[in-house]
Chains A and B, each alone.
Chain A
Amino acid sequence: MRRLPAGLAAVALLAVTATACGSSSSDDSGSSSDGVTTVKVGVIPIVDVAPVYLGVKQGFYKKRGLDLTLETSQGGAAIVPGVVSGQFEFGFSNTTSLMVARSRNVPVKAVANGVASTGKAGADFGGVVVKGDSPVKSPKDLAGKKVAVNTLKNIGDTSVRESVRKAGGDPKSVQFVELAFDQMPAALAAGQVDAAWVVEPSLSVAEEQGARVVASNFVDVSPDLTIALYFTSDKLAQQDPELVKKFAEATRESLAYAGSHPDEVREILATYTKIPEKTLQALTLPRWPEEPDRASLERLGELGRQDGLFDEAPDLDTLLP
């Protein structure tokens, strides 16, 4: 969901080389005698991964013999190579990043659903915001404007272009600049950018500071858009299908639990983030369906191809579980 720098290709190459050379560090998951397997999951400490934290707390992983350690890193840049080289058994990444990785032959495979759009325009957990007094009234007006996204050539610019396209504007004329989500409210207030694509909690913070949502770009791609997935390496998927199956089951249970217990989600957020109480209560939670939505991913792949992220839309059969 966060930064996956352009260096992905280089990293991927390194990762492939490392695995091809039989990296010695890929057997971290140790089965102890009592049948408990220690599993490392690379996550980003953001709202999206709350279900896994809840699942650990509720014992959904433990009862399947998985002792989960959540390793927080600052973005896909650290998670993808971490998973491919076997430092982590599983990782969390946004769908477009995984498609880009897959199209460059990085051996990643989704194992469970991650997070999805709420599907409600104007009430999603991510959206494009402008200053309260901005002349931009609809996504169409974003044409020719400077829009901040957290990572260029990723799900942000692809989906914002789709919003502009759907509203009848010229998607090619939108200028994208790269900025971290947490800096966007300030950049918007200072007028450094005309609009910003933000996700929670930055969305709530921007709104508190007077920003206005003009587009729900996820919803414009597909109301059921699957935004992120949990994934593993091809190697682990082949070597230990039993482990992958257990993780997938426990994650599915966690996703369902999070979906039906929003108050506990807000509570658990206070343990691994530092989101201030006021924002915590105000923020819009995403949806956590148990399965990825294939149709939405096909659409996202098609948009990625149109925007030149990859030459042909990736084969979802190799990517999805």
Chain B
Amino acid sequence: MTRAAVNGGPSDVRRRGAGRGNALLGLAGLCGFLALIEALPRLGFVSPDHLPPTSSIAAALAEETSDAAFWTALGDTLTGWALGLLIATAAGITAGMVISIVPYLREATASTVEFLRPIPSVALIPLAVLLFGTDLRSTLLLVVYAAFWQVLVQVLYGVQDTDPVAEETARSYGLGTWARIRHVLWPTALPYVMTGVRLAAAVSLVLAITAELVIGAPGLGARIAVAQTSHAVPDMYALVAVTGLIGVLINAGARAVERRSLAWHQSVRGEVSP
């Protein structure tokens, strides 16, 4: 028998029912939004030259999806996003742990981190072009730079949140550095890390598209830029809609990963023990 069944079906059913209700509400909101976009140009509030109705955007989208170049561009964008996120996450976690563990390093790096963090990735575009031209590596530079800080800062906060009693207990039981990371620091930091990764996933997508849009690195962003300069307005909105859709999927995926890896944590279990 599964735990859910033992734990009392009703609350579970209620929760699942609420989930379905939320999904329905979300869908209704989306339909309303699409209807609004359809209505605005048709009622003459904006010129269809500048904001085409939903139906013509949908037609342009259908045409896009039948073009092989569109799928290549989508693949390029997702590659840039995934690679960038992976590098940023690995680097962020490693750097965060090292900074937290090595004595005084945190204090020594704090001002540098706060100095570098707010620098917008986009400001690095000339540097990216100079180093890597207009290929994937330029996109990666921007994506990694933006996503890295999201992860790093969360790791720093997460480790700082460690219960000093747990930490001291681990020490007095003679746990080594590695064991303390593994059994004390990491579990404490994990919820923070997951938040950082989820934020980084969204930021990575924004930066991947931006890099393509501004630099012209291959991908959906470059396609949007071409549609824009060509005055293919419905096409441009269709591609923008695709990036929005990817965003929704990425967020849903990141939340699923977060729930799964934190299944043991009370924030996800939703039951306070005492």
Contact = CB atoms under 8 A, between A and B. Distances in A.
Interface stretch (B20-28, B85-93, B219-227, B256-264): B219-227
A189 interface: yes
Contacts, number: 98
B129 interface: yes
B130 A276 contact: no
Contacts of B214: 74, 78
A18 B229 contact: no
A182 B229 contact: yes
Contact of B133 (A40, A77, A189, A209): A40
B130 to A, nearest CB: 5
A72 B126 contact: no
A173 interface: no
Interface string B119-155: 0000001110111111100000000000000000000
A273 B189 CA distance: 48
A78 B129 contact: yes
A7 B122 CA distance: 13
A42 B230 CA distance: 19
Given A7-B126, A82-B129, A73 B229 contact: no
B215 A74 contact: yes
Interface in A142-198: 180-182, 185-186, 189
B232 interface: yes
Contacts of B135: 71
Contacts of B213: 74
Contacts of A25: 131-132
Contacts of A274: 226-227, 230, 232, 235
Interface stretch (A9-17, A124-132, A285-293): A9-17
A229 interface: no
B60 to A, nearest CB: 10
A82 B134 CA distance: 8
A81 interface: yes
Given A14-B126, A25-B131, A88-B133, A74 B230 contact: no
B132 A87 contact: yes
Contacts of B227: 274
B134 A73 contact: yes
B55 interface: no
A73 B231 CA distance: 17
B130 A45 contact: no
A186 B231 contact: no
Nearest to A83: B133
Contacts of B49: 185-186, 205, 209
B47 interface: yes
Contacts of B230: 201, 273-276
Interface string A42-70: 10011000000000000000000000000
A85 interface: yes
Given A205-B231, A279-B231, A71 B130 contact: no
Nearest to B49: A209
B232 A276 contact: yes
A74 B129 CA distance: 12
B160 to A, nearest CB: 37
Contact of B134 (A7, A18, A46, A72): A72
Interface in A267-309: 272-276, 279
A113 interface: no
A77 B235 CA distance: 26
Contacts of A93: none
B131 A46 contact: no
B132 A14 contact: no
Most buried by B among A182, A275, A276: A182
10 contacts: A10-B126, A18-B130, A71-B135, A74-B214, A78-B134, A82-B133, A85-B130, A88-B133, A205-B49, A272-B226
Interface of A: 7, 10-11, 14-15, 18, 25, 40, 42, 45-46, 71-74, 77-78, 81-82, 85, 87-88, 180-182, 185-186, 189, 201-202, 205, 209, 272-276, 279
Given A25-B132, A45-B229, A274-B230, 9 more contacts: A46-B229, A72-B134, A72-B216, A82-B129, A182-B228, A205-B231, A274-B227, A274-B235, A276-B231
In the A-B complex, list the 4 residue pairs whose CB atoms are closest, starting with the nearest: A87-B133, A73-B216, A274-B232, A274-B230
